[in-house]
Structures are given as structure tokens and as C-alpha cells.
């Protein structure tokens, strides 16, 4: 299984917007991206207030903005999210953003099986051009940067592990039974088909 501590020991910590610069460049170059999200909620984001308060019209307006800024035409992202049952408010909200991500070609999968992951787990993004970023969210209290790894052996190990994990996951649509009102509004506004 993957050893994050070993990978981090060989890494350079990027802070501030250094990671964003890499993300924007590699995304523009359409480099294949493998992404794993492990946290159930991101406390510093904590979802959308309109969604939490059941103000679904305002929530759908936010989704329209998300759709306009989505990675249009990019079919280069495979993503896995570990999900605990019952699904919390944040992940239920994420479901609707995943619908938009899927519209633009992302393949989003989930798993409920904690045993598929190492005991010490981090979110990460692997760009298939030889760049791995282990994301540092501290104690889920905010963005603390990303460890940048370019060691080919470590990247190969992460890539192989991701592919094995991806095959054991299911489509994100199995995560929840969606809110019909939100889905109908998203279709009405042509956010999804």
C-alpha cells in the first residue's frame, strides 16, 4: 500500500499560490490528472449556506456560476472520493458539482471501503506528466500548501495504486438519491442534460 510519509519525506512543500501555478499550467496542457479526496468535509469551506438552508433556487444560481467556470471540454480528470455513510451535508452538496464535472468529462468515482486506504491518508493530485502533489489541509483547518514530488518511482507507485483503487470504486451517482427539485432546476437552466 502507498506510504504517504515516505513520499512527503522526498518532497518540496509549496505554499501560497505556487500549487495554483502548476494546476493552471498542467490543466491548460490537458495533462491527465488523477485525484483522490479523502476528507468528508472541508471545515474551512463547510459547504454552501443556501444548500444547508434549503434555499435551492439560490443554490442552483451558484451551480450556474460553477458550470460557467467548469473545466469545459476537459476529459482528462479521474477522481475518487472516499465516502462515509451516512453521507453528510457537504458531500450531498458536492454531488451536484460532480454532475457538472461529469458533464465536462471527469470520471468521478466513490468508495465506502476504508480498508482500501492506508491508515495515514492525504488528498492528492497526480499529473501524469511526472508531478505528484500531496495536499496539506493540516487538521482540516485550511489550506497549508502541497508537497511536490517528482521522484519517478514514487509517482509510478501512486499511479498504479490509483488505477487499482479506481477499478474498485463505483460511479458517484450511487452516493445519494438526488433532490428532484434541484435536478429539475439544473435541467431547466441547462446546467445538466
pTM exceeding the 0.75 threshold for the entire prediction: yes
State which CATH number among 3.30.70.270, 3.30.870.10, 1.10.10.60, 3.40.50.620 fits the domain covering 4-188: 3.30.870.10
Domain ranges of the chain: 4-188
Q: What is the mean pLDDT of residues 86-100?
A: 93
pLDDT in tens, 136-185: 998 877 889 999 999 999 999 999 999 999 999 999 999 999 999 999 99
The pLDDT value given to residue 51 = 93
Contact between 166 and 158 under an 8 Å Cβ cutoff? The reply is no
**Tens-place pLDDT, residues 180-193:** 999 999 999 999 99
Average pLDDT, the chain: 91
**SS3 sequence, 13-68?**
EECCCHHHHHHHHHHHCCCCEEEEECCCCCCCCCCCHHHHCCCHHHHHHHHHHHHH
Paired with 124 in beta bridges are 36, 134
Contacts of 93 (CB under 8 A, 6+ apart): 47, 48, 51, 52, 59
Amino acid at each position: 500500500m502507498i506510504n504517504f510519509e515516505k513520499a512527503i519525506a522526498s518532497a518540496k512543500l509549496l505554499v501560497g499560490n505556487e500549487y495554483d501555478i502548476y494546476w493552471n499550467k498542467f490543466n491548460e496542457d490537458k495533462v491527465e490528472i488523477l485525484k483522490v479526496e479523502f476528507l468528508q468535509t472541508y471545515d474551512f469551506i463547510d459547504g454552501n449556506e443556501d444548500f444547508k438552508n434549503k434555499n435551492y433556487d439560490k443554490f442552483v444560481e451558484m451551480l450556474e456560476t460553477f458550470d460557467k467556470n467548469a473545466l469545459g471540454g476537459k476529459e482528462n480528470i479521474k477522481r475518487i472520493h472516499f465516502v462515509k455513510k451516512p453521507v453528510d451535508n457537504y458531500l450531498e452538496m458536492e454531488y451536484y458539482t460532480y454532475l457538472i464535472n461529469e458533464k465536462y468529462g471527469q470520471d468521478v468515482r466513490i468508495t465506502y471501503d476504508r480498508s482500501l486506504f492506508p491508515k495515514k491518508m492525504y488528498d492528492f493530485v497526480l499529473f501524469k506528466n511526472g508531478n505528484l502533489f500531496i495536499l496539506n489541509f493540516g487538521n482540516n483547518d485550511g489550506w497549508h500548501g502541497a508537497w511536490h514530488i517528482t521522484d519517478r518511482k514514487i509517482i509510478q507507485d501512486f499511479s498504479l495504486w490509483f488505477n487499482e483503487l479506481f477499478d474498485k470504486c463505483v460511479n458517484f451517482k450511487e452516493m445519494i438519491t438526488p433532490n428532484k427539485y434541484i435536478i429539475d432546476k439544473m435541467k431547466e437552466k441547462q446546467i445538466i442534460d
